[in-house]
A and B are shown apart, each in its own frame.
Chain A
Amino acid sequence: MPIEDALIPNPITINAEYTVEQALTLINKHQIRSVPIVENSGKFIGMFGLHSLLDDLLPMAAKMEEGVKDLDFVVGGAPSAAKKIRKLAHKSVLEVIKKTEEHHYLKDDMSILESIRRLYKYGSPLPVVTKELKFLGLISEQSCLNHLNEVLKEVEAEEKLNTNL
């Protein structure tokens, strides 16, 4: 598996029974931005993240396609956004997550460069799954760079060996 070595070791996961509040507590505690939702059978369901929550704080008119493109004129919107968070707290994480598009997954047989391209394009971390959507782990910008550092060490060791010969 080409990207196996770039995975985050032992990532935190949650199951579908978590509420938004519980998931947020977990996210705060571990200082992470998103957490994968995985069934007990190991099937990947989606990513719960702060980004998807932000979406729920916006008025419908700003989220829809060809909608209001700028909300700078809305002064004093913080209390109503705060109230929306209160409303969301007791909802299940499943109600809040957005559908994970196919290009947001990484497949286990994907090349490292394609993983880097997707991380660059769609943000970090991204889930890695099998064809049957079995969850294998997460890959992040940091885990990817760590892996490349390891590769660099190997390359340098090899170069050193070659010059010594």
Chain B
Amino acid sequence: MHDLIFGIPAQYIALAIMGLVYAVIIAEKMNQAVIALIAASMAIMFGLLDQEQAIHAIDFNTLFLLIGMMVIVGIMKETGIFQYVAIVAAKFVRANPRGLLIILSLITAVFSAFLDNVTTVMLIVPIVILLTEQLKLKPYPFLLSQIIFSNIGGTATLIGDPPNILVGSAVGLSFTDFLFNMGPIIVMMLVIMIGVFDVFWGRHLSTSNRARAHLLRYEPKKSLKNKPLLIKSFIVLGLVMAGFTIGHNFLHIETGTTALAGAALLMFLDGIGHKLPEKNKKAHAAFHEVEWDVIFFFMGLFIVVASLEHTGILSLIAHQITVVTEGDFTKTGMVILWASSLFSGFINNIPFVVTIIPIIENMGDTFGHGEALNPLWWSLVLGACLGGNATLIGASANVMVASYAERANAPIAFVKYMIHALPLTILTIIIANVYLYLKYFI
């Protein structure tokens, strides 16, 4: 790479390209994947990095993990299992609105921990809208809780939220690392949030006995559509979880490989007993479940951020941050937590996380490499995931729930959402702050 391109320092060009990506994302004038790819092409064409370096910059482990899980969930949702669980839960609380708010929130939190947050809300929110409609309840508190709990639940595991996948893959943190470090604090947060939701919304909810009786007549078993496929899906999901834990920790198989292998196995099992045209049709449909725009958005970002890294600007920023925090490890951790939550509250947290990963890696020169940096990674993960709750556009799951609310003629107002969600977000960040401080920084 040359230091000057057309007489302009390469760092400025790299920054301008990244700035363009952010500007377009904030202005919401172009598809995010398209601008990321345009920016990546510009980075290569301006010579900030060559083709080989660009391909090398793409974290295929992250992409394989995303693709694999999208295929598995895409096949699994056809079995109706998610609807089944939601209806069984509604009957379990005897269709009591107060209990329903709690149990639907918990289901979303648990699903979000193991599935992508957007996928989770796409599976659960339609049934939430149906249940509130049947009980003649306003859907707002339920939809608000869906957003908050999906973002909190997603923080708990390696595969729960893209920032975790990115950090885990870049740093080599495993599924069990996430579960043991993030699990306890997330469980604690969920308990507190359930209390908050019950006090502010749950205990005020009421419905008629007639509406409840109607809901209690539901037959959840009827929503299970393809039992053989359900069994196959559970077997594959079990194997994938074993791969994430045992396979990763003892056999050193990367999570991306496990997820793609799981997807391939499930597609194979799903095709058994069918003729080739039908097998092809099924595989085609399964690959169709992959959100390719998300995958290409990631690809473009990896390249753009690598071009920034090549110019040396990211290590400069890392150095500046440690200067501001006076080389104090605790202060740096807190700055990362609050800055990443603030940032994630307003724009998509993925470009931020992709950019900050090499910055934190560069801080290794000051604080030591490898495990010594883990507290900073946990600060980033908690900030980036939980911060997404702050506004209606803070995370993709929020946007998806808002879109469902609109379709159900019960739109969520941006300001109203923020009035409720911002204090809740700050509360979770304070809890995260205390936890991080007590567990890692003293």
Across the interface, do A70 and B83 meet the contact criterion of CB distance under 8 Å? yes
Complex alpha-carbon distance, A62 and B130, angstroms: 8
Most chain B C-beta atoms within 10 Å of own C-beta, residue among A59, A62, A72, A74: A74
Given contacts A68-B83, A76-B214, A76-B217, A59 and B130 within 8 Å (CB-CB): yes
CA–CA, A62 and B87, complex, Å: 15
Verify A61–B133 contact, CB threshold 8 A: yes
**Given contacts A65-B407, A67-B407, A68-B130, A73 and B218 within 8 Å (CB-CB):** yes
How far apart are the CA atoms of A67 and B223 in the complex, in Å? Answer: 14
B38 touches A (CB below 8 Å): no
Q: Name the residue in A59, A61, A77 with the highest tally of chain B Cβ atoms < 10 Å from its Cβ.
A: A61
Distance (Å) between the CB of A34 and the closest chain B CB? 25
A61 with B122, Cβ < 8 A, contacts A68-B127, A73-B219 known? no
Are A60 and B222 within 8 A (Cβ)?
no
Cα(A59)–Cα(B135), bound, Å: 12
Enumerate chain B residues within 8 angstroms of A113, measured Cβ to Cβ.
Answer: none
Measured between alpha carbons, how far is A72 from B83 in the docked complex, in Å? 11
Task: Report B359 CB to chain A, min CB distance, Å.
Answer: 37
- Cβ contact within 8 Å between B407 and A73: no
Q: Judge whether B99 is part of the interface by a CB distance below 8 angstroms.
A: no
Instruction: Name which residue of chain B comes closest to A62, CB basis.
Output: B130
**1/0 per position for B111-123, CB-CB distance to A under 8 A?**
0000000000010
Majority secondary structure, A binding face: loop
Contact status A61-B222, CB under 8 Å: no
Chain B, interface size: which category?
A: 20 to 34
**Interfacial chain A residues near B219, Cβ < 8 Å:** 73, 75
- Cross-interface CB contact of B129 among A61, A74, A76, A80, cutoff 8 Å: A61
Shortest CB distance B75–A (Å): 15
Query: A66 an interface residue at 8 Å Cβ cutoff?
Result: yes
Instruction: Check A75–B217 contact: CB distance below 8 A.
Output: yes
Which A residues lie within 8 Å of B126 (CB)? 61, 64, 66-68
List chain A residues, Cβ under 8 A from B409.
Answer: 60
Known A-B contacts A66-B122, A70-B80, A73-B222; A60 and B217 likewise in contact (beta carbons under 8 Å):
no
In whole angstroms, what is the CA distance A64 to B407 when docked? 6
Cβ-based interface call for B247 (8 A) = no
Give the contact-size bracket for chain A.
10 to 19
B419 located at the interface, meaning its Cβ lies under 8 Å from any Cβ of chain A in the complex: no
Bound CA–CA A72/B223 (angstroms): 7
- Please give, as numbers and ranges, the residues of chain B lying within 8 Å of A75 by CB-CB distance: 217-219
Interface residues of B in 265-305 (CB under 8 A from A): none
Residue of B nearest to A80 (CB): B214
* C-alpha gap A74/B126 in the complex (Å): 14
Please measure, in the bound complex, the distance between the C-alpha atom of A68 and the C-alpha atom of B223, giving whole angstroms.
11
- Contacting B at CB under 8 A, from A47-106, are 59-62, 64-68, 70, 72-77, 80
Kindly state the separation between the CA atoms of A93 and B232 in the bound complex, as whole angstroms: 50
Report whether A70 and B223 are in contact in the complex, using a CB–CB cutoff of 8 Å. yes
B126, B217, B222, most chain A CB atoms within 10 A: B126
Known A-B contacts A72-B223, A73-B87, A73-B223; the reply to A60 vs B408 at CB < 8 A is: yes
* A62 neighbours in B (Cβ, 8 Å): 130
Could you tell me the distance between the alpha carbons of A73 and B91 in the complex, rounded to whole angstroms? 12
**Residue B134, interface by CB 8 Å:** yes
Alpha-carbon distance between A67 and B221 when the two chains are bound, in angstroms:
19
CA distance A113 to B230 in the complex (A): 45
Query: Which of A59, A66, A72, A76 is B133 in contact with, Cβ under 8 Å?
Result: A59
Complex CA gap A75/B201 in Å reads 29
How long is the Cα–Cα vector from A112 to B219 in the complex, in angstroms? Answer: 48
Q: How far is the CA of A76 from the CA of B407 in the complex (A)?
A: 25
Residue B404 is within 8 A (CB to CB) of chain A in the complex: yes
Report the bound CA distance from A62 to B409 in whole Å: 13
A73 touches B220 (CB 8 A): yes
Q: Which residue of A lies closest to B409 (CB)?
A: A60
Contact B218 A74 (CB under 8 A): yes
A72 to chain B: which residues have CB within 8 Å?
222-223
Within the complex, the shortest CB–CB distance from A28 to chain B, in Å, comes to: 29
Contacts of B225 in A (CB 8 A): 70
In the assembly, what is the distance between CA of A64 and CA of B80, in Å? 18
User: Is A61 in contact with B127, judged by CB distance below 8 angstroms?
Assistant: yes
The residue in chain B whose Cβ has the minimal distance to the Cβ of A75 is B217
**How many Å lie between the Cα of A31 and that of B169 in the bound state?**
66
- Which residues of A are found within 8 Å of B221, using beta-carbon distances? 73
Set A64, A73, A76: member contacting B408, Cβ < 8 A = A64
- Contact flags (1/0) for A98-122 with B, using CB distance below 8 Å? 0000000000000000000000000
Kindly list 7 other residue pairs between chains A and B, CB separation below 8 angstroms, not including A61-B127, A72-B223, A73-B222: A61-B408, A62-B130, A64-B404, A72-B222, A73-B83, A73-B221, A80-B214
Closest 9 CB pairs of A and B: A61-B130, A64-B407, A61-B129, A73-B222, A72-B222, A73-B223, A67-B126, A68-B126, A75-B217
Q: Give the B-binding residues of A (Cβ under 8 A).
A: 59-62, 64-68, 70, 72-77, 80
Residues of B within 8 A of A (CB): 80, 83, 87, 122, 126-127, 129-130, 133-134, 214, 217-223, 225, 404, 407-409
Q: Can you report 29 A-B residue pairs in the complex whose CB atoms are below 8 A from each other?
A: A59-B134, A60-B129, A60-B133, A60-B407, A61-B126, A61-B127, A61-B130, A61-B133, A61-B408, A64-B404, A65-B407, A66-B122, A66-B126, A67-B129, A68-B126, A68-B127, A68-B129, A68-B130, A70-B83, A73-B83, A73-B87, A73-B218, A73-B220, A74-B218, A75-B217, A75-B218, A76-B214, A76-B217, A80-B214
